[in-house]
Amino acid sequence: MQLTGAEIVVECLKEQGVDTVFGYPGGTILNVYDALYKHSNEIRHILTSHEQGAAHAADGYARATGKTGVCLATSGPGATNLVTGIATAQMDSVPMVAITCNVTLPCLGKDSFQEVDIAGVTMPITKHGYIVKDITILADTLRKAFRIAKSGRPGPVLVDITKDVTAMLGEYEPAVPEPEQLPKSYTQEDIERVLQLIKEAKKPYIYVGGGTIISDAFPEVMEFAKKLDAPVCDTLMGKGAFDGNDPLYTGMIGMHGTKTSNLGVSSCDLLVALGARFSDRVVGDPKKFASNAKIVQIDIDAAEINKNIKTEASIVGDLKEVLSIVNKQMPQMEHMEWVAYIKDLKEKYPLNYNKEGLSCPFVMEELDRITKGDAIISTDVGQHQMWASQYYKYTRPRTFISSGGLGTMGYGLGACIGAKVGMPDKICVNIAGDGCFRMNMNELATASRYDIPIIQIVINNHVLGMVRQWQTLFYEGRYSQTVLKDKVDFCMVARGLGCEAIRVTSKEEVGPAIEKAISLKKPVLIECIIQEDDKVFPMVPAGSAIDEVFDEKDLAKSK
């Protein structure tokens, strides 16, 4: 059948099962928006306040649902405003398709109004990118984009379409999306080598990353841990990949990981990495990381094997598939002494914070209690992000949404909106510091426009907390440009943008504020005023061995 390019775009979105897109219109993409208008009963469009918000919302939607997120933008500044959101999705392996439209073909390369080579700009931060100048390849290109975004190790794909292609007529033939082909490059010998190391180990440790969530391998990871009888730590991206209340769970590993996880991994004789990439925030000094252990890595991306840490054995493949095979072939193991030793570490080094006065850890514990650990928590980046990862108990995958690899301040609010749109029956809460929140707080207008009942908690210490913490510990208290004691009133801003607002200044007010926010079923901001010098502990100095982890007591002793 004959359709315009814009209509083909919409038909391809429907083919892929897309029910929601996030974006902002402009001149070059007007034809696509006109086509969307005619299909508004099939595809919901969320108009964000800024294109970066659209990219983050598509990202949050994808992380919460497991589907591919979609965002739209016009040419020039509209497209470049997506860049940070695209890079965020790339670093955290999030399936996303960003559709932009460019100037007409005759105007390309002539510095035309709002012309930017967005495919070139985003080449290093996408899994793949296309510019479509021919309507005959438009449908197939969009189908490839969705297939690439979701297959193997997921990631963002950009499709840039010239405006004349969206206007001209072309032939469209409906197609059914091809089933995902999981890459398989491992052998039975690889499986047997890993099983051999498992059987030889006396002190095994399991280290889970974001790949476990992407693979939907939650049941297989639980079974593996029980059969191996080994303690489990996670990365920031791996939160919820293993039940945070399970006795075998020891908390996060790395720069702000627990003492138990950092000391335990440093003492183990076998470290099994599941869907984890050994980032610098996890390993610290790579020469000293898990130096007593043989390391096994299971990952879908062959490029991650031996990239940062040398392995003794590895399996390249989908984690869910690989673990289902390993679990069948692995005998029940028993490591009573080792597990008891780790249990003693947990009792000796529990997470702890100053209980006097209002603090972010207390807010997170109250949020966990009230929601019974069943909310979707998104965060921005900084101290609040670490506290949110430490003091809320994540028991299921896709319940913690945060920018791990890129560390994008201003990410969380858009992501929370996307998560709530994708999972409307879940309580969705974004935790932000005051520094992060002011970057994209305009997205509260998006939440109020559509009556999206998210809860935005601002942990306000009137400073850039994480940077200030480093300035305190490593820069002799020189607080260069980290003090935010200005005249901004976040509650007034929230009300001005159409949301409810509650200010909390004491511990007694936290629980009632959260309960009220949930009951209102509308977008609500809760501002929590905390001390400017609250710090995140434990901590490992950048580039140090993870067994050099210290907490507040250690810091006091060293003075």
Q: Which residues are tagged catalytic?
A: 51, 113-114, 163, 466
Angle between helices 465-474 and 383-391 (to 10 degrees): 100
The residue type found at 90 is Q
Which distant-in-sequence residues (6+ apart) come within 8 Å of 10 by Cβ? 32, 35, 36, 38, 39, 43
Which residue, 469, 448, 424, 449, is CA-closest to 525?
448
| Distance (Å, whole) CA 48 – CA 22 | 7
Segments in 110-154 forming alpha helices (H): 118-121, 138-150
Structure tokens at 291: 């130096």
| Distance (Å, whole) CA 277 – CA 298 | 10
Segments in 201-318 forming alpha helices (H): 210-214, 218-228, 259-267, 280-283
Structure tokens at 180: 């995902």
Burial annotation 53-78 (CB, 10 A radius, 16+ → b, else e): bbbbbbbbbbbbbbbbbbbbbbbbeb
Structure tokens at 281: 């925030």
Which distant-in-sequence residues (6+ apart) come within 8 Å of 19 by Cβ? 42, 43, 44
| Torsions phi, psi for 31 (to 5 deg) | -65, -40
| Distance (Å, whole) CA 356 – CA 362 | 10
Which residue, 168, 106, 108, 95, is CA-closest to 137?
168
| Distance (Å, whole) CA 547 – CA 345 | 13
Q: Which is it for strands 500-504 and 524-529: parallel, antiparallel or unpaired?
A: parallel
Structure tokens at 551: 């907490």
| Distance (Å, whole) CA 471 – CA 480 | 8
Angle between helices 5-15 and 30-38 (to 10 degrees): 50
How many residues would you count in the chain?
559
**What is the distance of C-alpha 143 from the center of its chain?**
25
CB 395 within 8 A of CB 244: yes
3-state percent helix, strand, coil for the chain, nearest multiple of 5: 45, 20, 40
Which distant-in-sequence residues (6+ apart) come within 8 Å of 192 by Cβ? none
